Amino acid sequence: MPRRAPAGAAAHASPAPDADAVECVLLKHGEVFLRGRNRARFEELLHDNLRHALRRLPGATWVEKGRSVTMVGGEPGLDTLVESVRRVIGFNLVQPAVRVGSTLETIGDHAVRALRRAWQERSGGRGRISFAVRAKRRDKSFPLTSSALAAAIGERVCRQTGARVDLSSPDVQLTVEVDRKGSYLSWTRLRGQGGLPVGSSGRALALLSGGYDSPVAAYRAMRRGLACDYVHFTGAPYTDAASVYKAYALARELNRFQPGRTLWVVPLGKAQKQLAVAGAGRFQVVAQRRLMARTASALGQRLGADALVTGDSLGQVASQTVANLAAVDEAASLPLLRPLLGWEKQEIIDEARTLGTADVSVLPDEDCCSLLAPRQVTTSARVTDLRRVERRLELDELVGELLAGAWPLEPGTGCAVPGTALPGQTRA
């Protein structure tokens, strides 16, 4: 039996159960249901994340939970709801629908309307259109079997609209699901994000630079259930603020896929200079990456992260050879995950476009990695060589200073959090 749960803390509008037709969105659960005994926890997280997404919308909303399906509706209207819930990771299918009374007559009326609506959306009602009806009878007290229901509805739609039946590749698929509380009629099926509910695999700290790769990597980590905070290293005081603005805008886009999390900004410029003065030479870039890995690990541990995430892709640039990636791993005290290791650059850019991060990534900025970059970057850094450079610095102290200089931004709200300090850190 579906349970109804309020979506927003403040506002809660209920669908009138006996209203003629209630617009809503059906969300079909994804992989979450492969999870046997963990199912209840996964489902709880999925619904928490859904409620977070709905709270950002203007107007009251409602959520009803069924088996393997969740229904959502409310004041923001169908288009706004669909746009918002499509971003919630863990739902495979998103179907705008109407809930109507469970009589053949009523379902038939609304099927005709739904077909006309889909026709209008597709071609402004012009030309010919084909359709198929798929029916599912979850309420076994309904008098017709699923196939008899589909046939009866199909016949009526055909007769009243002149649309053609095509069961193999219809232009429009009408779906009728008969439930105890009513019947759901939908005219389109949109792909959801799929994946595991954010938070179900723990937490991570994603290293966010300004490029295409790292936001896509963070998204992929989220899709495997990791709730991601972000860290961005800037070349400050030797670079301007452009890269911070970009990281902020990227984190904001990414936060649309998860309950909003924090972006930490760490000025790295002075430490980069220290590495250069220590004679890093052609190891400069890898030495910087190791310092980022060390600092991000320390930050991540304080934040309760289980792993780091980067946008490295094997062989994409000189710093991303197996030897160099291994040298960076060696400096990280948290597991370093690289979701894009086997991806082509074009695949990454295509996904960045789909996610909406590409428009930000393409903007120019002064990347801290190009600051002090040697003309030639080694492709086979050895840990012994890097340690020789690092021994000339007080590494622990340096990491401590970098952490003390880290500042948090909340990309959902656009302002620094006054007085926010790292756990265990006091701010002046």
Q: Which residues of the shown chain bind ligand ATP in the complex (CB under 6 A)?
A: 207-214, 232-233, 292, 310-312, 316-317, 319-320, 368-369
> How many amino acids of this chain bind Mg ion (CB under 5 A)?
2
Shortest distance in whole angstroms from residue 197 CB to ligand ATP: 24
Q: Is 134 helix (H, G, I), strand (E, B) or coil?
A: strand
319 touches Mg ion (CB under 5 A): no
28 phi, psi to nearest 5 deg: -95, 130
Size (the chain), residues: 428
188 touches Mg ion (CB under 5 A): no
Shortest distance in whole angstroms from residue 211 CB to ligand ATP: 2
CB nearer to ligand ATP: give 111 or 358.
358
92 binds, among ligand ATP, Mg ion, none (CB under 5 to 8 A by kind): none
Amino acid found at 195:
G
Restricting to residues 190-209, name those near Mg ion by CB under 5 A. Answer: 209
Q: Are strands 190-191 and 172-178 parallel, antiparallel or unpaired?
A: unpaired
233 annotated binding-site participant:
yes
Shortest distance in whole angstroms from residue 207 CB to ligand ATP: 3
211 touches Mg ion (CB under 5 A): yes
- DSSP string spanning 46-115? HHHHHHHHHHTSSS-EEEEE-SSEEEEEETT-HHHHHHHHTTSTTEEEEEEEEEE-SSHHHHHHHHHHHH
207 binds, among ligand ATP, Mg ion, none (CB under 5 to 8 A by kind): ligand ATP
- CA nearest to 222, candidates 252, 187, 186, 259: 259
311 annotated binding-site participant:
yes
Shortest distance in whole angstroms from residue 225 CB to ligand ATP: 19
CB nearer to Mg ion: give 73 or 211.
211
- CA nearest to 338, candidates 218, 240, 253: 218
310 binds, among Mg ion, ligand ATP, none (CB under 5 to 8 A by kind): ligand ATP
Cβ neighbourhood burial of 17 (10 Å; 0-12, 13-18, 19+): exposed
Q: Is 275 helix (H, G, I), strand (E, B) or coil?
A: helix
289 annotated binding-site participant:
yes
52 annotated binding-site participant:
no
* Alpha-carbon gap, residue 104 to 106, rounded angstroms: 6
Q: Which residues bind Mg ion (CB under 5 A)?
A: 209, 211
Residue numbers in the known binding site are 207-208, 232-233, 289, 311, 320
Residue numbers in the known binding site for ATP are 207-208, 232-233, 289, 311, 320
